[in-house]
């Protein structure tokens, strides 16, 4: 008589999701051990586009690494800019003018909203709904037009500099941003009717992929995934950097930790980002947009770290200096990597269709993982 284990092994088969598959959003492969339509064991396979960003950072003067930061999380590059220049400023003792810090916050929050809008459309597309991505990309294009005005880019931004930003914002930028805030606030009701109250979406997302607070802590989950599990932790609030302590905003949290809560948290985060941007525009100080920083930045012996709240969670840079321009060691802790690590435990015993929902709710950016 065959054992139950042998019977299960005989019934199971392997299914490769990716590395090129619509639901993996890039070159991520997930090897699935399947029993019919049920997932027995999902194992992510990384490294298809590994580009050795950390080693690049350890082989060139610190200023020359700036373009790399926008190529890790290409969907929300400005917080990655912010974390790196903050690290260099802390290590080298470079002061940043208040106006520059306000500009950094405004542009980073605009980039966060653009990132969440892209995720919203792509997530619903994963679930078979085509219409929402037309609305979300329409709104996102408005942000890209605004940011292009001052950064010269629409995606892989390299706008921040040690000591400030590349150039000052213009009246056109301010007017365009205020107009976008007004427009975006009127659009939330559309998303509410189109998505949040859609019974098909609710049935696909509610109760699917529940991350308990204990599981989130064990795997180092951060960002909207952590807050969706009911843990109110946002670096902008708990460990304020830049000038975030000057602004009044809330940290949205979920109740159940499922895919539906993760959707709600991100939509509410967009509303809070608009609040931050509006306050920053109202309080925008006069003065220089770039402080005094040497052309050749010497990194004193010792270590430094700097953390920011990126669109997908906690982004931490760690640097060891040896007195030269080139970092002796550069370590980058990205949120998508730890967030993905929860998948093998979370994805066991679920339907394949639910795995697609879970992965879509994670908002993964693979070049960030394969840094």
Within a domain: residue 70?
A: yes
Which DSSP category does 364 fall into? -
Q: Residue 279 falls within a domain, yes or no? A: yes
Q: Look at residue 4 and tell me whether its pLDDT is greater than 80.
A: no
Q: Is residue 119 part of a domain?
A: yes
pLDDT of residue 347: 94
pLDDT tens-digit series, residues 298-325: 999 999 999 999 999 999 999 999 999 9
| Residue 25 lies inside a defined structural domain of this protein | no
pLDDT in the model for residue 22? 77
| pLDDT tens track for 184-239 | 999 999 999 999 999 999 999 999 999 999 999 999 999 999 999 999 999 999 99
Tell me if 319 is assigned to some domain: yes
Would you say 342 and 358 are in contact if contact means Cβ atoms under 8 Å apart? no
Pick the closest to residue 331 from 95, 83, 104 (CA basis): 83
> How would residue 246 be classed by pLDDT, with cut points 50, 70 and 90?
very high
Across the chain, mean pLDDT equals 94
For residue 355, is it within any domain?
no
Question: How confident is the model over 84-97, as a mean pLDDT?
Answer: 97
Residues in CB range of 306: below 8 A, 6 or more apart: 83, 84, 86, 87, 90, 241, 316, 317
Q: What is the DSSP letter of 290?
A: B
Domain that holds residue 256: 49-333
Residue 215: exposure state from Cβ atoms within 10 A (0-12, 13-18, ≥19)? middle
Residue 10's pLDDT band (cuts 50, 70, 90): low
The predicted pLDDT at position 25 comes to: 78
Query: Which residues is 27 bridged to in the sheet?
Result: 20
| CATH code where residue 85 lies | 1.10.645.10
Under a CB-based contact definition with an 8 Å cutoff, are residues 274 and 292 in contact? no
How many domains, in total, are found in the chain?
1
- On whether residue 21 sits in a domain, the answer given is no
Half-sphere exposure of 316 (CA within 13 A, CB side): 13
pLDDT of residue 20: 82
With a cut of 90, say whether residue 53 has pLDDT above it. yes
pLDDT tens-digit series, residues 115-162: 999 999 999 999 999 999 999 999 999 999 999 999 999 999 999 999
Mean predicted confidence (pLDDT) in 1-15? 63
Q: What is residue 2's predicted lDDT score, i.e. its pLDDT?
A: 43
Q: Which two tokens stand for residue 284?
A: 């925008």
- Residues contacting residue 130 through CB under 8 Å, at least 6 positions apart: none
pLDDT of residue 313: 96
Residue 358 lies inside a defined structural domain of this protein: no
The arithmetic mean of pLDDT across residues 175-190, rounded, is 96
């Amino acid at each position: 008589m065959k054992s139950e284990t042998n019977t299960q092994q005989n019934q199971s088969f392997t299914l490769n999701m990716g590395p090129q598959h619509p639901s993996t959003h890039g070159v991520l492969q997930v090897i699935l051990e399947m029993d019919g339509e049920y997932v027995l064991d999902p194992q992510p396979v990384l490294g298809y586009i590994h580009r050795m960003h950390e080693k690049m950072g350890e082989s060139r003067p610190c200023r020359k690494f700036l373009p790399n930061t926008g190529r890790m999380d290409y969907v929300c590059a400005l917080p990655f800019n912010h974390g790196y220049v903050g690290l260099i400023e802390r290590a080298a003792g470079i002061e940043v003018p208040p106006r520059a810090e306000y500009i950094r916050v405004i542009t980073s929050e605009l980039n966060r909203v653009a990132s969440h809008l892209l995720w919203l459309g792509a997530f619903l597309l994963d679930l078979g709904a085509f219409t929402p991505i037309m609305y979300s990309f329409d709104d996102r294009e408005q942000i890209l037009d605004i940011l292009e005005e001052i950064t010269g880019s629409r995606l892989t931004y390299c706008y921040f500099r040690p000591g400030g930003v590349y150039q000052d914002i213009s009246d056109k930028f301010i007017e365009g941003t205020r107009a976008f805030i007004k427009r975006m606030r009127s659009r939330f009701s559309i998303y509410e009717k189109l998505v949040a109250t859609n019974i098909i979406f609710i049935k696909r997302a509610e109760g699917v992929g529940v991350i308990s607070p204990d599981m989130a802590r064990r795997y180092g989950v951060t960002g909207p995934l952590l807050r969706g599990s009911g843990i109110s932790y946002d670096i902008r609030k708990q460990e304020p950097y830049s000038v975030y302590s000057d602004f009044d905003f809330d940290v949205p949290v979920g109740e159940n930790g499922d895919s539906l809560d993760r959707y709600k948290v991100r939509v509410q985060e967009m509303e809070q980002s608009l609040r931050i941007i509006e306050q920053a525009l109202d309080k925008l100080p006069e003065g220089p947009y770039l402080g005094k920083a040497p052309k050749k930045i010497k990194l004193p012996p010792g270590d430094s770290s700097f953390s920011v709240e990126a669109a997908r969670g906690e982004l931490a840079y760690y640097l060891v200096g040896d007195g030269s321009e080139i970092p002796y060691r550069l370590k980058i802790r990205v949120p998508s990597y730890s967030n993905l690590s929860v998948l093998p435990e979370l994805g066991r015993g679920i339907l394949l269709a639910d795995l697609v929902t879970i992965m879509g709710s994670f908002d993964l950016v693979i070049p960030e993982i394969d840094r």
